[in-house]
């Protein structure tokens, strides 16, 4: 899956990078950042094609046999400049907005708030992060973010 870059994207990315670099130079900004992500690990070794890219000067002609219904585990982890939060294993076979919200409410947010009242929680663009209930919870508990 590829995303098209338009001519105006270069300017937007450049200004974002400059702004982010300036923020990183501010005292305490980097220490406030908490990144989180989920991953699926299959017993058969299958990799999630959205998270794995192979780059090279030549086509490696790699091939992986597809194994149906391979046992798997979904894992959530968070990290900051001073701590790793997790790993936490999803009890359900598929990560959804509802079970992600459960982990935020019951596990990750209480730990983050115990360690600091001033943090920046960063997520990627996974669909489960934009579930209505997840957004409502984050908006209620991290207002103005």
- The first and second tokens of residue 92, run together, are 């359900």
For residue range 28-62, list pLDDT tens digits in order.
888 899 999 888 888 877 766 665 666 677 776 76
Measured from the Cβ of residue 112, the count of other Cβ atoms closer than 10 Å reads 20
C-alpha span between 97 and 134 (Å, rounded): 7
The pTM score is: 0.72
- Answer whether residue 124 shows pLDDT above 60: yes
Return the DSSP state at 58: S
Domain ranges of the chain: 27-141
> Which of the following CATH numbers is that of domain 27-141: 3.40.800.20, 3.30.1340.10, 3.30.70.20, 3.30.420.10?
3.30.420.10
For residue range 65-105, list pLDDT tens digits in order.
667 777 888 899 999 988 999 999 988 888 899 999 999 99
Confidence at residue 43, expressed as pLDDT on a 0 to 100 scale: 81
């Amino acid at each position: 899956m590829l995303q098209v870059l338009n001519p105006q994207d270069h300017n937007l990315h450049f200004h974002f990078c400059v702004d982010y670099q300036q923020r990183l130079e501010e005292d305490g900004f980097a220490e406030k950042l908490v990144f989180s992500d989920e991953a699926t690990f299959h017993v058969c070794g299958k990799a999630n094609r959205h998270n794995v890219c192979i780059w090279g000067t030549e086509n490696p002609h790699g091939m992986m046999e597809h194994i149906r219904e391979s046992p798997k585990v979904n894992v959530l982890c968070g990290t900051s400049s001073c701590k790793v939060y997790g790993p936490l294993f999803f009890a359900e076979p598929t990560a959804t907005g509802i079970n992600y919200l459960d982990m935020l409410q019951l596990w990750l947010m209480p730990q983050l708030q115990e360690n600091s009242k001033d943090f920046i929680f960063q997520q990627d663009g996974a669909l489960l992060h934009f579930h209505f209930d997840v957004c409502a919870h984050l908006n209620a508990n991290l207002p103005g973010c």
